[in-house]
A and B are shown apart, each in its own frame.
Chain A
Amino acid sequence: MSCIDVTHLSKSYGSIKAVDDIVLSVKPGQVFGFLGPNGAGKSTTIKLLTTLIPPSNGSLTILGVDAIKNPLEIRHKIGVVLQQPSYEPTLSVEKSLDKYGMMWNVPKNERKKRMEQLLKDFDLVKIRKKRNEDLSIGQRRRVQVAREFMHDMDLLFLDEPTVGLDPSARRKLLDYLKNKVKTGLTIFYTTHILTEAEYLCDEIAIIDKGKIITVDSPEALKNKFGKEKTIKIHLLEKTPKISNLLEGIPDCKINFESGTNIVIHSEQSELVLLKILKILNDNNIEIEDLSAIPINLEEIFLKMVRKN
């Protein structure tokens, strides 16, 4: 059984279709990445999935429960970290965690235990007595994410949770989430940072203009859309005639930078490279450095969104 089953889901605001006929299925125990440019419909989709807003059309089943008929039942089983900060300004960090656990009906002793653990896991021990309003954006974000782990859940929605975090805190959070997934938690994760999605997600959906363009694993996406490679050649000396020599090589796009750098984009990179190396050799042009860069998720993402 899927954790999330979405069929022909739409949400309109007047004549604007924020989410347009999307179909999704998220398997239990996986991290499902949801990517898209600003205004693509990511946050609206999260609001629909977390039952914050009702859909205009379509059906939505979360953890086997009809989200349109029984939203409250679903909200008992999920955790949500929304994109916007959420905090009680006058409460201290530890009081925030404790009160949040209380709101979720976690027994007092259990709350204390979890709070101490989360304070350690999220590096909040030193600031545990500080009021939320006195924290930095990154600290506040850490409290917001940590707070969600005060209660039990089967499915966690994270809407750009690493916004405002420094690289070290970001990596710690991703590793923390990876460990949580190993215990059976399912995560629905939206982000703009594609390296995060690549590091964390088992499956990725790309949404643009309210429609899902593609859904697949990061590796499959790279294989599907990432045949094109970039090859960079750095010549030992400036060679003004180089553009003339390489002119006419088929199936590739070549850029020349400052007379010593050649950047080649091609889906048949091996063949193209062989041809270029032969020309360079025939003309006694020496190479200082050569590197081949496989396409990354960011390039696939940009390519797909541009195409859409």
Chain B
Amino acid sequence: MNSIIRLVNRNITISLNPGFLIWQIIFPLIYIFIVGFAYAPLIQNVPFGVKDLGYPAFLASGMIGFNIMNSTLVSGIIIWNDRRHGMFEQIMSGPFTRSHYILSNICTIGIIGLVSASLIALVGYPVFFESVEFSLITIPVIVFGAITGSILFGSLASIISTRLRSSEGFNVIINTVFLFFAFVSSAFYPADNVPEPLRTAFYLNPLTYLVDVIRAGIFGNITQFVIIEMLILVGIASVLFVIASKLLTKLDF
């Protein structure tokens, strides 16, 4: 078996614990079915391209991007745990290179991101069923979003994990950054209706682009702006990936 596949196998085994599964499934369900329907009377229809989406459908599609971002926390947690519990050094003294380690982390977050996106798409499907517009590019766009988003947020989590040693520091920073990403984005509410300068802040946040791309795929609204958003996502993901790889390569024992 290939070295990277073996490390991915190990990464998935250590990541799949009950706490993580609850975080990945129960949390989005609460958002989609409780928050979505509770807020529906307050936010009645959300204009999206030529369509008007119900709030639960808007939120459920946003939760796919949100869940991809959350699942990529795994990458940071794996690296941080490996460093804290001596496994990074142990793996590096075994039949692996740093490139194997980095690529296995990327593959792991890609897989977890895809599974997570599919899961929420399945769970949220009854909610956005009426507005879905399937086309040839629906699935590829969602897959694109899942992979790019995983690399982007996974790299970010990896960068944070390489810089911090204490568990308190790691938890505080990662939760603050990801909380900012979650709520200063169009995952929960449309960007068009929020006041300035919050609206500008929305577009400084890659999660907004990720959520926009996934929504465009689901509801069939691939515009020129969405293509620009896709390019921006690729650009940010590439830069963060390079930085994360460099930091991991330089990581001291």
Binding site for B on A (CB under 8 A): 47, 50-53, 72, 75-76, 78, 80, 82, 84-91, 95, 99, 102-105
The total of interchain contacts (Cβ-Cβ below 8 angstroms) comes to 65
Residue of chain A at shortest CB distance from B13? A99
Q: Is the beta-carbon distance between A87 and B85 smaller than 8 angstroms?
A: yes
9 more A-B residue pairs beyond the given contacts A86-B90, A103-B7, with a C-beta to C-beta distance below 8 A:
A52-B92, A75-B96, A82-B90, A86-B85, A87-B86, A88-B85, A89-B85, A99-B9, A103-B6
10 interchain residue pairs of minimum CB distance: A86-B86, A86-B90, A80-B93, A76-B95, A84-B86, A50-B93, A88-B14, A90-B17, A86-B87, A103-B6
Q: List 25 A-B contacts (CB under 8 A).
A: A52-B92, A52-B93, A52-B253, A53-B253, A75-B93, A80-B90, A80-B94, A86-B90, A87-B85, A87-B86, A88-B85, A88-B87, A90-B14, A90-B17, A91-B13, A95-B13, A99-B9, A99-B13, A102-B10, A103-B6, A103-B7, A103-B94, A103-B95, A104-B94, A104-B95
What residue of chain B has the Cβ atom nearest to residue A43's Cβ? B253
> B52 within 8 Å of A by Cβ?
no
Whole-angstrom distance from the CB of B167 to the nearest CB of chain A?
Answer: 12
Residues of A within 8 A of B10 (CB): 99, 102-103
Is B91 in contact with chain A by the CB < 8 A criterion? yes
CA of A151 to CA of B75 in the docked complex: distance in angstroms? Answer: 27
Out of A75, A88, A102, name the residue touching B95 (CB < 8 Å). A75
A212 to B: closest C-beta gap in Å: 22
Docked CA distance A53–B250 (Å): 11
Chain A hits for B94, CB < 8 A: 75, 80, 103-104
Bound-complex Cα distance A303 to B224 (A): 79
B253 to chain A, nearest CB (A): 5
Partner of A89, one of B81, B89, B93, B95: B81
| Cα A99 to Cα B14 with chains together (Å) | 10
B6 in contact with A105 (CB, 8 Å) = yes
Query: Main secondary structure on chain B at its contact with chain A?
Result: helix
Chain B count of residues within 8 A CB distance of the other chain: 22
Closest to B7 in A: A103
A155 to chain B, nearest CB (A): 12
Residue of B nearest to A84 (CB): B86
Residues of B within 8 A of A51 (CB): 93
CB distance from B107 to the nearest CB of A (A): 15
User: Closest approach, in angstroms, between the C-beta of A115 and any C-beta of chain B?
Assistant: 15
CA distance A298 to B32 in the complex (A): 68
Give A236 Cβ to nearest chain B Cβ, in Å. Answer: 57
Tell me if B93 and A72 are in contact (CB < 8 A): no
Residue of B whose beta carbon sits closest to that of A98: B13
Q: Is the CB of B253 within 8 A of A87?
A: no
**How far apart are the CA atoms of A85 and B84 in the complex, in Å?**
10
State A50–B94 Cα separation when bound (angstroms).
Answer: 9
Scoring A84, A85, A95, A103 by chain B CB atoms within 10 A of each residue's CB, the highest score goes to A103
Residue of A nearest to B90 (CB): A86
Interface residues of B in 73-103 (CB under 8 A from A): 81, 85-87, 89-97
**A105 / chain B contacts, CB cutoff of 8 Å:** 1, 6, 95
Please indicate the chain B residues that have their CB under 8 angstroms from the CB of A75 in the complex.
93-96
B188 CB to nearest chain A CB (Å): 31
Cα of A91 to Cα of B81 in the assembled complex, Å: 13
List chain A residues, Cβ under 8 A from B7. 103
Q: In the complex, what distance in Å separates the CA atom of A102 from the CA atom of B2?
A: 11
Q: How far is the CB of B246 from chain A (nearest CB, A)?
A: 17
Alpha-carbon distance A257/B122, docked complex (angstroms): 85
List of A residues within 8 angstroms of B13 by Cβ: 91, 95, 99
* Residue with the highest number of chain A CB atoms closer than 10 Å, among B9, B94, B97: B94
> Which residues in B have their C-beta under 8 angstroms from that of A84?
86, 89
Instruction: Pick from B1, B17, B86, B253: contact of A85, CB below 8 A.
Output: B86
Query: Could you tell me the distance in whole angstroms from the C-beta of A189 to the nearest C-beta in chain B?
Result: 16
Complex Cα distance, B6 from A288, in Å, reads: 69
User: What is the distance, in angstroms, from A182's C-beta to the closest C-beta of chain B?
Assistant: 25
Q: Which residues of B contact A82 (CB under 8 A)?
A: 86, 89-90, 93
Across the two chains, which residue of chain A brings its CB closest to B17?
A90
Contact B253 A47 (CB under 8 A): yes
A86–B92 Cα distance when bound, in Å, is 12
Q: How far is the CA of A91 from the CA of B14 in the complex (A)?
A: 7
Indicate the member of B17, B91, B92, B97 with the most A CB atoms within 10 Å. B92
Chain A residues with CB under 8 Å of B95's CB are: 72, 75-76, 103-105
